Amino acid sequence: MATAAAFALGACSGGGATNTTSTGGGGGGGNSGYTFAMITHETPGDTFWDRIKAGANQAAKDTGSTLKYSADPDAAKQAVLIQNAIDSKVDGIATTLVTPDALIPTIKKAVAAGIPVDTFNSGLDFFEQAGALTHFASNEKLAGQAAGKRAAAAGATKILCTIQQSGSVALEDRCAGVKDSFPNTENLQVNGADDAAVTTAIQAKLTEDKSINWIVTLGAPQALDSIKAAQGAGRSDVKIGTFDTNPDAAQAVSDGKIQWFIDQQPYLQGYMAITQLYLYKKNGNVLGGGQAVLTGPSFVDKTNIAQVMPFIKNNTR
């Protein structure tokens, strides 16, 4: 856990439809003439991605570039969005790598076409295989290990680790890390696109298995669902920790309803993914020296929530 905390300040979502936005350049960086595409596996309504987009939009403004953002949680459709970016001859592509097998072949097409690609958020172990310049993310397995140790120190007897999107390598790494450091961990697959269904599934599990006294969720919405589920099951003994945050989850940490969240700095991921493409096109610069650039993990709890709360409310943390 001490190692995890030493990193710069814990990805991911699941289910929904494609969305596309475009942001014009000509900001603080003048007008670079570059157009960059950002493509993610965002689930509509998941506020985690608001921070990714805020960072990317600010980077486009700062570099005077045009940003085209699109997303789909379906891997095949995300690959189509990457192909669309290739066909439109953008100057660079930043993409998540949540389902590597489905996305790497198309990413390689971009690289072969002379379009620089960097990856972020998901796919830490696959960006080199994809041919990406670098990767901006948290170390998800390390974060999971730290979460398991922290729950153990707080008296965990059995942990329920919820996964809200099937097939996501980042989410699987998180729960695998928890289980590494706390073997009495059970995974529960939930539908991250349906909060009511998440609450029902967790409540049923807590009612059925009284030995579960900790829940580790992999996204802030599921942490808030877990609060309702524990109340519904009459389980005041259950504690909750989560990866990632939003204003409501941050407030729940401040109120003691959630013990902590693991920060991976999504704003920074979005900002650096676009800035890296700009610097590569302008100067040939590449960050990381062949390694991923880590943006997390670190823990935020009652002892330091007040320090980061203003940035969370400002959508920059």
Q: In the prediction, which pLDDT does 2 show?
A: 38
C-alpha to C-alpha distances, 237 to 163, 212, 227, nearest whole angstrom: 22, 9, 11
What rounded mean pLDDT belongs to the chain?
Answer: 92
Q: In the prediction, which pLDDT does 10 show?
A: 35
Q: Residue 167: which pLDDT band, with cuts at 50, 70 and 90? A: confident
Separation between Cα atoms, residue 103 and residue 309, nearest integer Å: 35
Q: Residue 18: which pLDDT band, with cuts at 50, 70 and 90? A: low
Cβ proximity of 179 and 156 under 8 Å: no
Q: Residue 158: which pLDDT band, with cuts at 50, 70 and 90? A: very high
**50 Cβ neighbours under 8 A, 6+ residues apart:** 315
Higher pLDDT, 181 or 16: 181
Q: Residue 9: which pLDDT band, with cuts at 50, 70 and 90? A: very low
Q: What is the pLDDT of residues 28-41, one digit of tens each?
A: 557 899 999 999 99
Q: DSSP of 250-264, one letter per residue?
A: HHHHHHTSS-EEEE-
Q: What is the pLDDT of residues 41-79, one digit of tens each?
A: 998 878 899 999 999 999 999 999 999 999 999 999 999
Rounded to two decimals, the pTM is: 0.86
Q: In the prediction, which pLDDT does 3 show?
A: 38
Q: How far is CA 202 from the centre of its chain?
A: 22
Cβ proximity of 147 and 180 under 8 Å: no
Q: In the prediction, which pLDDT does 22 show?
A: 67
Q: What is the pLDDT of residues 93-130, one digit of tens each?
A: 999 999 999 999 999 999 999 999 999 999 999 999 99
Helix, strand or coil for residue 118? Answer: strand
Q: What is the pLDDT of residues 293-315, one digit of tens each?
A: 999 999 999 999 999 999 999 99
Percent of the chain with pLDDT over 90: 85
Q: In the prediction, which pLDDT does 191 show?
A: 92
Q: Residue 273: which pLDDT band, with cuts at 50, 70 and 90? A: very high
Separation between Cα atoms, residue 151 and residue 179, nearest integer Å: 11
- Residue 299 tokens read as 């823990």
Beta-sheet strand order (sheet of 135-138): 19-23, 66-71, 35-40, 92-96, 117-120, 135-138, 293-296
Higher pLDDT, 21 or 294: 294
Q: Residue 166: which pLDDT band, with cuts at 50, 70 and 90? A: confident
Give the dihedral sign, CA 52/54/57/58: negative
Helix, strand or coil for residue 230? Answer: helix
Separation between Cα atoms, residue 74 and residue 68, nearest integer Å: 19
For range 153-178, the mean pLDDT: 94
Separation between Cα atoms, residue 71 and residue 183, nearest integer Å: 35
Higher pLDDT, 195 or 3: 195
